[in-house]
Amino acid sequence: MLERGARVLIIGGTRYIGRHTCIAALVAGARLTLLNRGQAPFGWLAEHPEVDRLQGDRHDPAALEAAFSRDYDVVYDMIAYRPDDIRPLLHTYADRIGHLVVCSTTSVYAPALYQPIDEAHPRGPHPAWGDYNRGKNAVEDLLATTDRVRTTVLRPQWVFGPHDYQRLATFYLVRLAAGLPIWLPHAGIAQLNWTYAPDLASAFLLVTSLPEAAGRAYNVVCDETLTTIDFIRLCAQVLGVAADIRHYRPEDLPGELRGQRIGPVRNLPLACTSLALKALCDFRPTPMAEALVRTVDWLRGSGAFDANQLTPVEEYLNAQG
C-alpha cells in the first residue's frame, strides 16, 4: 500500500488513467512528481500546486536525467508501449526506483479456448490486437528479465469512467441518451470485462511496496462479465432510456464505407478475472451500475451529451432505416 509521504513519480499522468492515479496518490498523501510531454490538458493541476510537474519526452535523455535527479519510492508508468520506453528505467535509473508499477493490458494474452482468463493463461501474439499486443508483450518480456528493481504489472481491460478521451463507454452512453440506435456489426454476444478508471488507480496504490507483488502481473477488471449487448442494456438502464440495438452486415455497406468500424468493442470474447489481485490486497471493484452512474454524472457535467457526432457508417445506416 502506498504510504503517506512516499515520493512518487508518474510517467504520463495528466490525461486519463494517470490523472485518476495522480489524484488518488495525492489523497493518500504522496509527494508527487509528474513527467509528461504537456500535450494533454493539464489545467486541472492548477488546483494542486504541490505537484512537481516536469515537461519532457521520456525518450529525451535530458528529461529523464532531470526526473531522476532524486530517488522515488515508486514509479507508476502509464505509457510504456515498447521496450525502448521502459529500458532506461530498468538499466540507467534502476537504483533510484523502489518499486516500478507498469500499466499493461489484458490484450497481451494469446487466444484462449476457455473463459475467464486468469494470469496463468499464456501471453503471446493475438491477431485481433496487432502491434499493440506485440509492443505490450515486449515490454512485459523485458520487465520479466530485470533483477535490479522490483516490478509489478497491472492489466486492465476496456477502461471507462470520467475523463475518458478514448470514448469507450461514452460512445454508447451519448447515443443512448440522444435516443439514437446502437448499430453492431456482429451479434454482440462475446463476453468481456470492463475496468473502471478509479478502480485501476486504486490498484496502483494497493500493490505498491507489497513484497508479494514483486515480479507479478495482475488483471484489474470489474466483477461483472457482460456481453456487448448486455453492457449496452446496462448503460440504457442507468440512463433510464430504452436501448435500440440494431445489427448490420459490413459486407452490405457501400464500397467507400467498408472497413470503417462503428464503436470501440470488437466481436472478441475476452472475459478475465481479478481473483489474484483480490487475494493479494483489498481490491474491491466498484459495481458496474454504480460506476456507470458516476460516469454519466461526469458526462453531464462536462457537456459531453450536448455533442453527438455520428460516424459516416451510422449516418448511412440511420438514413436507410
DSSP 199-210: HHHHHHHHHTT-
C-alpha span between 279 and 272 (Å, rounded) = 15
Cα angle at 69 between 66 and 71, to 5 degrees?
A: 135
Strand partners for 192:
226, 270
Residue 297's pLDDT band (boundaries 50, 70, 90)? very high
CATH of domain 7-225+267-304: 3.40.50.720
Which grid coordinates belong to 233? Answer: 442494456
Helix (H) or strand (E) holding 17: helix 17-27
C-alpha span between 85 and 213 (Å, rounded) = 22
Largest CA distance in the chain: 62
Local structure of residue 252 (DSSP, 8 states): G
Residue 184's pLDDT band (boundaries 50, 70, 90)? very high
DSSP 72-87: BSEEEES---SHHHHH
pLDDT at 305: 82
Which of left, alpha, beta for 84 (phi over 0: left; psi -120 to 50: alpha)? alpha
The pLDDT tens digits of the residues spanning 2-13 come to 999 999 999 987
CA dist 319 → 26, 46, 313, 315 (Å)? 49, 46, 10, 6
Which grid coordinates belong to 58? Answer: 521520456
CA-CA-CA-CA torsion sign (61, 62, 66, 70): positive
C-alpha span between 190 and 187 (Å, rounded) = 8
Strand partners for 220:
156
The pLDDT tens digits of the residues spanning 193-210 come to 999 999 999 999 999 999
Q: Which of 13-17, 87-91, 105-109 comes out lowest in average pLDDT?
A: 13-17
| Residue 177, C-beta contacts closer than 8 angstroms, at least 6 positions apart | 239, 241, 305
Residue 64's pLDDT band (boundaries 50, 70, 90)? very high
Relative to beta strand 226-227, strand 191-192 is antiparallel
Whether residue 33 contacts residue 69, with contact meaning beta carbons closer than 8 Å, is answered with no
The pLDDT tens digits of the residues spanning 126-182 come to 988 999 999 999 999 999 999 999 999 999 999 999 998 888 999 999 999 999 999
Residue 260's pLDDT band (boundaries 50, 70, 90)? confident
Tallying the residues shown for the chain, one arrives at 321
